Amino acid sequence: MSGVYEFVSLLLFCHLMPLLLAAACPPLLSCGDLGNISFPFTTTERPDCGFLPIRNCEDPLKFKMIQLQNNGEWFRVVLVAQLRNSSIITFQIRDKHLYDLLQNESCEAFRYNYTIPPFFHFAALRIQYHTSLFRCKRSLHVSPPTGMLNYTKCPDYDLYYKHIITADDVSRSSLAACTEVQLPIKDVPDAINPFTFVTADIIIRVDLTDECADCNYRHGGQCKLDSTETFCCVNGILQQKP
């Protein structure tokens, strides 16, 4: 009786999915010094078990690496923080190039604009702590907005920033001619030297869609797209049968 019910459920979840995909994914995968990882993370050896595969999990001598977009750059993963059965998921990566620029106090660092492409079907990724900095050509002679700090040691532009800058902040009007960049931070951006609060160790938060969280945490399944690009939950209920 229950066997029939479960089989029907699977078909409803995923009627166009080849049943071949129903090879069970282990609830935890070991990934060297990152410890045990679970969905949405996986290892590159098991790309079917998550959408954030980590490379070199089995090689203790190599950094663990992740890609944030297809064919994109590989970043070193420093930390994965996951609570079991919870959709609170964060991980930390290091951008080596930005790291080197910050170590050198190179103003090239402020040419970065950090945004994460929203290419994931089952989750939104965002940088947990970041701020806006305004890069203003010195020749523009912008009048310093009240309450904003500046950094004037870059070759041909000055930087403006403040503790909290909202989308409708009045300071923005006097900075309209400047270039706004988003950068990850590790401290409140109120220091005299921005190299003390901008960071290359970036904490990224993953918010699973409700249907994917439900599939994974309630049904123990894998979030997939079927052949018509429709969400489907594979292998959930069937896997739990004795």
Ligand X SMILES: *[C@@H]1O[C@H](CO)[C@@H](O)[C@H](O)[C@H]1NC(C)=O
Which residues of the shown chain bind ligand X in the complex (CB under 6 A)?
Answer: 28, 30, 35-36, 84-85, 100-101, 104, 106, 113, 115, 144, 150, 152, 158, 179-182, 217-218
**Distance from C-alpha of 239 to C-alpha of 49, rounded to nearest angstrom:** 13
CB of 232 to ligand X, least distance (A): 19
CB of 104 to ligand X, least distance (A): 4
Nearer to ligand X, 133 or 203 (CB): 133
Q: In Å, how far from its chain's centre is CA 24? A: 26
CB of 175 to ligand X, least distance (A): 11
Residue 232, token pair as written in the block: 């489907």
CB of 179 to ligand X, least distance (A): 5
Q: Which residues of 184-217 are buried (b: 16+ CB within 10 A; e: fewer)?
A: bbeeebeeeebbebbbbbbbbbbbbbeebbbbbe
Nearer to ligand X, 74 or 226 (CB): 74
**What SS3 class is residue 203?**
strand
Nearer to ligand X, 86 or 228 (CB): 86
CB of 13 to ligand X, least distance (A): 16
Q: What is the DSSP letter of 57?
A: T
CB of 228 to ligand X, least distance (A): 28
Nearer to ligand X, 94 or 226 (CB): 94
CB of 180 to ligand X, least distance (A): 5
Extract the runs of DSSP E, i.e. beta strands, from the chain.
29-30, 36-37, 41-43, 52-55, 65-67, 74-82, 89-94, 123-127, 130-137, 149-151, 157-161, 179-184, 201-208, 222-225, 231-234
Nearer to ligand X, 115 or 230 (CB): 115
Could you give the strand order of the β-sheet that contains 149-151, starting from the edge strand earlier in sequence? 149-151, 157-161, 130-137, 179-184
Nearer to ligand X, 35 or 47 (CB): 35
Q: What is the DSSP letter of 217?
A: I
Q: What is the phi-psi region of residue 91: left when phi exceeds 0, alpha when psi lies from -120 to 50, beta otherwise?
A: beta
Distances (CA, A) of 113 to 13, 117, 180: 40, 12, 8
Nearer to ligand X, 18 or 147 (CB): 147
